[in-house]
Amino acid sequence: MRNWLRKLFARKTTPVVRTARLEIEALEDRCVPTVTYHGGALLPHVEVQAVYLGSDWTHASNLPQTRTLDGFLKSLVGGTYMDSLSVAGYAVWRGTASPGVIAPYQINHNLVLTDAGIQRDLQAAISGRLAKPPDANRLYVVFVEPNVAVRAADGSVSRTDFLGYHAAFTGRNAAGSTVDIRYAVIPYPGGTAKNASIGNAPAIAGLTEVASHEIAEAVTDPDVDHTVIAWYDDSADGEIADLTNLEWTALNGFAVQRIADKHGHPMTPAGATALQPVSFVLTMGGRLYEHTAQGWVSLCGGVASVSNQGVDNSGKAMVDVVLTNGLAYEFHDGTGWTFLSSGVKDARAGQGGSYVLLRNGDLCEFRDTDAALGATLAHSVASMDAGTDRYGVNSVAVVFNTGKLSMFSDATGWHTLCGNVKAVSAGYLGVSAVLLTNGRAYQYREAGGTWTYLGSNIAQVSAGFDAGGHALLDLLTRSGSVAECHVGFVPQTIITGIKAIGEARAGVLDVVYLNGSAYERTAAGWRPLTTSVKVAV
């Protein structure tokens, strides 16, 4: 990238498909994109390989990390993270990962490792046939051994100026022919080198978060500061990960950074969750509790409502809490409370932000990066729910006092769906569940604007996702049974005697029985949470 300092200091039965598209408006981008293509090369199907630079990677304490990082790279470039870049229109798709190699060169920890030295060592690994040969899709991810500071080509240093970078140089393949070599450099956070880190996250989380940032930029702009740039935001002087720097979530158990769409809005990939799984319950008496691997913690009393879980910009589970006095807060696992507003009727946690419905019917968006309630999005709102649009950008489904349903996306603006709506669950990647006033439920897919009938006599709908990141819809009938539906399949009853359901997150579903007992379904089966519960999420 052009501005190295930005790395650290950038802003932080078969379903029946309806043939009619009720009141659907075409979705159009609201403005001219700021991220534009400048003609440079891309890595459309990246072939990534880790190069563990330094002999210390052979130590017994470090070897397990190399295996973890190899698994991370395979998961990242072969999964939904790359799908986000494809859907956003960056003309890159899923790739492959080769097994990583240790380049066991001796590094003097008393000196700062230079970018020129890294290029020399990488070239030696290629020439010695240790690393895979470079080609038009090859990207080497250089993980520098612990306790080593790195100096980039512009003189900036990993202790204070950056978390990682990517670059390219003209080198030679094993046969001696001239070739462009693309690489990313990930210094090990903290340690005796006192390298910069992403906060209190474990070192492995820092390595994967920074690596995801650099890989996203390297595949969409591999030759920055080398030849011709590709996807770049000239107005912000940054690449697509710089625009959302240090806004991260977890994917398949690894910390990954959200990446910007062409308008600079952060995209959350399919299947993203919090790094640490937690659950929340609101008791009949209005007390909110959190359940973690360490047990139960009482958070506060006087609670009127709690939202389904979102994920904040530090990979933490987040819920919105509205007190009986109308004060609303975000609660961030392990971090604490963020004030949203007073005079609140409802608040729903999204991805790195929230939507707040005031008692006067006004709807506003709260973005954690701004730490402030934004301008009013709509008036005369009866209810709403937070989700993400087909790009993975934050969106909100809005039911107006008239019963009309509309959706607002940070990326595409407003579009109207249908009328006679009782409730909506906004869902992820543009897949939502809609409950009409007549008790009939439908799935709505933003991509294509299609409707699918789900069932009748429905009391509550919930749109979440399964362990693979695919849409997972749950329907609570008026008789208390819960039917679950994967996209394209018939809803199947999974449990009965239920009065409330949460929103599935990576397949984890919370339910509350008619007697107030709360249970949670995981991959291992059903497990009890607690009793006298009003809501479990």
pLDDT (tens, 9 = 90+) of the chain, 537 residues, equals: 444 334 443 333 222 222 233 343 334 445 689 999 999 999 999 999 999 999 999 999 999 999 999 999 999 999 999 999 999 999 999 999 999 999 999 999 999 999 999 999 999 999 999 999 999 999 999 999 999 999 999 999 999 999 999 999 999 998 999 999 999 999 999 999 999 999 888 999 999 999 999 999 999 999 999 999 999 999 999 999 999 999 999 999 999 999 999 999 999 999 999 999 999 999 999 999 999 999 999 999 999 999 999 999 999 999 999 999 999 999 999 999 999 999 999 999 999 999 999 999 999 999 999 999 999 999 999 999 999 999 999 999 999 999 999 999 999 999 999 999 999 999 999 999 999 999 999 999 999 999 999 999 999 999 999 999 999 999 999 999 999 998 777 889 999 999 999 999 999 999 999 999 999 999 999 999 999 999 999
Cβ(122)–Cβ(133) below 8 Å: no
Pairing of strands 231-233, 35-37: antiparallel
Position 486 scores a pLDDT of: 86
252, 267, 282: which is the final residue of a domain?
267
Tell me, yes or no, whether 413 lies in a domain. yes
In terms of domains, do 394 and 524 share one?
yes
The number of distinct structural domains making up the chain is 2
Crossing angle of helices 63-77/203-220, nearest 10°?
40
Position 534 scores a pLDDT of: 98
Pairing of strands 47-53, 96-103: parallel
In terms of domains, do 263 and 367 share one?
no
In terms of domains, do 371 and 497 share one?
yes
231, 249, 267: which is the final residue of a domain?
267
Range of the structural domain that residue 111 is part of? 46-267
Tell me, yes or no, whether 326 lies in a domain. no
Position 10 scores a pLDDT of: 35
Position 315 scores a pLDDT of: 97
In terms of domains, do 433 and 530 share one?
yes
What CATH number corresponds to the domain at position 446? Answer: 2.130.10.30
Q: Please report, in angstroms and rounded to a whole number, the separation of the first and last CA atoms in the chain.
A: 41
Position 187 scores a pLDDT of: 98
211-249 burial string, b = 16+ CB within 10 Å, else e? bbbbbbbbbbbbbbebeebbbbbeebebbbbbbbbbbbb
In terms of domains, do 63 and 205 share one?
yes
Length of the chain measured in residues: 537
In terms of domains, do 61 and 157 share one?
yes
Tell me, yes or no, whether 175 lies in a domain. yes
Tell me, yes or no, whether 329 lies in a domain. no
- How far lies 527's CA from each of 510, 512, 518, 522, in Å? 10, 12, 9, 8
Tell me, yes or no, whether 102 lies in a domain. yes
Cβ(145)–Cβ(62) below 8 Å: yes
Other CB atoms within 10 Å distance of the CB of residue 452: 19
What CATH number corresponds to the domain at position 158? Answer: 3.40.390
For 411-466, write each residue's pLDDT tens digit: 999 999 999 999 999 999 999 999 999 999 999 999 999 999 999 999 999 999 99
What is the rounded distance in angstroms from the CA atom of residue 347 to the CA atom of residue 352?
14
Does the pTM of the predicted model rise above 0.85? Answer: yes
Position 28 scores a pLDDT of: 45
3 state DSSP class of 193? coil
In terms of domains, do 85 and 229 share one?
yes
